Amino acid sequence: MNEMFVYRLKADSKAYQDLIVSKQRGKTVPEIMRAFEDQFSGHPVPRPWSYPRLRRDPAEARRPMGDLVRSLPGVTLFSERAAEVMRPLIERCGEFLPMDWEEGRLVAFNVCPLVDAIDFGRCKADPKPFTGCWLPEMCPDLAFVDEVIARTPIFKVPQYAGTAFVTEAFKRRWEEAGLEGARFERVWPWPADPLRLW
């Protein structure tokens, strides 16, 4: 198996429940979300840390909860079980931050620090015009530095600090443990179809 595969990690929001942010007096939901996301910028989160109140989306009541929860862009949010399973593999790649919500506890994983893992010399196109907080759905074909990703099962890069990338080691551990709710969208090596849309 090729250990150099890199995937974009995303929650499967088509099959599993999303959580939504509860309103707070004096603040709009976008303001709450932005303040929370800004803490996940590739640096350790100051303590004590604050987080928004999350709740189930009534419109998705029939969907099950996954072990990777979609709630806030740029934030990797695990179930407690997923955090326990993945901790031995990824704890050196960031910090686990417990979050209480109305039905129990979740664990946010702050991927830090950012790593210079993009190999610009091997990219099929210049990724700089696409650079932003999140990797766009249709993006340049990226390439990664093998020596960096070989030792980093989950990482973020400065060019797309809101996007979590994972390697084959992460994907294999997730699947072997029977964890649910994640989508692994391959970004390296490039899929055979050069016109793919993720």
The parent domain of residue 178 ranges over: 6-188
Q: Is 175 part of a structural domain of the chain? A: yes
Residue 11, pLDDT score: 93
Q: Is 198 part of a structural domain of the chain? A: no
Q: Is 105 part of a structural domain of the chain? A: yes
For the stretch 92-147, pLDDT in tens is 999 999 999 989 999 999 999 999 999 988 887 666 655 556 565 555 578 899 99
Q: List Cβ neighbours of 198 (8 Å cut-off, separation of 6 or more).
A: 8, 137, 138, 185
Q: Is 196 part of a structural domain of the chain? A: no
For the stretch 41-68, pLDDT in tens is 888 998 888 899 999 988 888 899 999 9
One-letter amino acid at 192 equals A
- H, E, C per residue of 33-52: HHHHHCCCCCCCCCCCCCCC
Q: Is 70 part of a structural domain of the chain? A: yes
Question: At which residue do the structure tokens 């080691």 appear?
Answer: 169
Q: Is 195 part of a structural domain of the chain? A: no
Residue 198, pLDDT score: 36
Report the C-alpha gap between 93 and 50 in whole angstroms. Answer: 21
One-letter amino acid at 150 equals A
- State what percent of residues in the chain have pLDDT above 90: 54
Residue 91, pLDDT score: 97
Q: Is 48 part of a structural domain of the chain? A: yes
Of the pLDDT bands very low, low, confident and very high (cuts 50, 70, 90), residue 159 is confident
Question: At which residue do the structure tokens 């893992």 appear?
Answer: 117
- Total domains in the fold of the chain: 1
What is this structure's pTM? 0.88
Q: Which helix (H) or strand (E) holds 164?
A: strand 160-167
Q: List Cβ neighbours of 67 (8 Å cut-off, separation of 6 or more).
A: 78, 79, 81, 82, 179, 180, 181, 182
Report the C-alpha gap between 193 and 173 in whole angstroms. Answer: 27
Q: Is 194 part of a structural domain of the chain? A: no
